[in-house]
């Protein structure tokens, strides 16, 4: 297998540190550049992640695009803020690099949505059509040789994996409710009072209702447009990591447990990182935290016309870093499980 020269920008964030830990031990990767997403001082490599030592890769440096390009990476992972990714991804592409972006800078196809949902005008709208949306299990060959991969958001990963196999059976006249909870690491490293231990411990709250930037991503990737009533309510758990999404759906016709099971089996029978539980068995966060897996369970209600579907992932792994590595593996023709524990 041909080894790839890889750079990571944003290695000092939570998802970036997980990504660094995975790629530092990936048998097909040479880590040639590690940098933060800012020009400020950076920690030692061993301080990023408990599994890393200072011998596992290059020294972590402040962000400097010229220095990164001088290391001649073939693939660059961006674990950076949305606006920074939107700014530097085109420059990396112009330099001949493949880019896997963990931010939201290239997830939406419509550039007009960015000012409302992300707060900035997109600098390179033409790239939005070129970007491959990297929900790995739903990519049918388009990842191989892609130049720009937009890693899905963590909430959309949990929700889309659960709903995509059922999407054409959902009654679009009825409200689709996505009630999702995330550990606080999903907000990134923040010093604000709202994310401090004293505010979070023993607490539980909803946020961003009706204005969360993952809503247009969900609508676009579920192919439900603007007319289908969608209620997406994210919550902040008093936990470090993990996402649990409880989804309330109405079908256009009466469904049986076997029919639902068959749809999931058809979608994920060969997917090493998605596990669907038997009918009536619902997954919990403890089943996936610290792993690259997604687990899905469902219960039919109202004689088969409605269902509650529960989906769980680790937001920093399947919701970010490990999914990015799955996409990297497919991009370069490596085994999808390479560097990851299935």
> Residue 319 and residue 187: Cα distance in Å, rounded?
13
- Residue 91 structure tokens: 């420059």
Helices (H), 238-303: 257-268
CB hemisphere CA count around 119 (13 angstroms): 7
Considering the candidates 28, 97, 154, 178, report the single residue annotated as catalytic: 154
Residues sharing a CB contact under 8 Å with residue 302, sequence separation 6 or more, in sequence order: none
First-to-last alpha carbon distance for the chain, in angstroms, is: 20
**Residue with structure tokens 């920690």?**
43
**Residue with structure tokens 């946020």?**
207
- Residue 239 structure tokens: 């936990």
> Residue 243 and residue 155: Cα distance in Å, rounded?
7
Q: Is 154 an annotated catalytic residue? A: yes
- Residue 27 structure tokens: 């048998």
| Segment holding 250, helix H or strand E | strand 243-250
292-to-76, 207, 319 alpha-carbon distances in Å: 21, 26, 9
Residues forming the active site: 154
């Amino acid at each position: 297998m041909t080894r790839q020269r890889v750079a990571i920008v944003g290695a000092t964030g939570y998802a970036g540190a997980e990504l660094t830990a995975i790629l530092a031990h990936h048998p097909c990767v040479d880590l040639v550049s590690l940098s933060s997403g800012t020009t400020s001082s950076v920690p030692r490599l061993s301080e990023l992640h408990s599994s890393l030592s200072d011998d596992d890769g290059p020294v972590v440096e402040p962000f400097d695009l010229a220095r990164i390009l001088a290391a001649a990476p073939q693939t660059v992972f961006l674990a950076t803020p949305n606006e920074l990714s939107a700014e530097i991804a085109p420059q990396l592409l112009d330099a001949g690099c493949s880019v896997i972006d963990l931010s939201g800078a290239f997830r939406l196809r419509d550039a007009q949505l960015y000012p409302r949902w992300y707060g900035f005008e997109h600098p390179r709208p033409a790239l939005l059509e070129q970007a491959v949306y990297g929900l790995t299990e739903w990519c049918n060959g388009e990842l191989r040789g892609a130049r720009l991969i937009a890693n899905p958001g963590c909430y959309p990963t949990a929700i889309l994996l659960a709903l995509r196999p059922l999407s054409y059976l959902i009654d679009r006249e009825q409200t689709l409710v996505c009630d999702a909870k995330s550990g606080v690491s999903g907000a990134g490293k923040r010093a604000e009072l709202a994310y401090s231990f004293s505010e979070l411990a023993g607490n539980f709250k909803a946020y961003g209702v009706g204005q969360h930037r993952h809503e247009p991503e969900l609508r676009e990737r579920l192919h439900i447009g603007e007319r289908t009533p969608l209620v997406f309510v994210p919550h902040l758990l008093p936990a470090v990591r993990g996402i649990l999404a409880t989804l309330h759906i109405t079908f256009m016709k009466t469904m049986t447990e076997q029919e639902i099971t068959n749809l999931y089996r058809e979608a994920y029978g060969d997917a090493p990182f998605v596990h669907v539980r038997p009918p009536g068995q619902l997954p919990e966060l403890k089943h996936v935290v610290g792993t690259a897996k997604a687990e899905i369970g469902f219960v039919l209600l109202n004689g088969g016309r409605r269902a509650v579907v529960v989906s769980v992932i680790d937001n920093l792994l399947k919701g970010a870093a490990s999914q990015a590595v799955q996409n990297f593996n497919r991009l370069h023709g490596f085994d999808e499980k390479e560097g990851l524990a299935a």
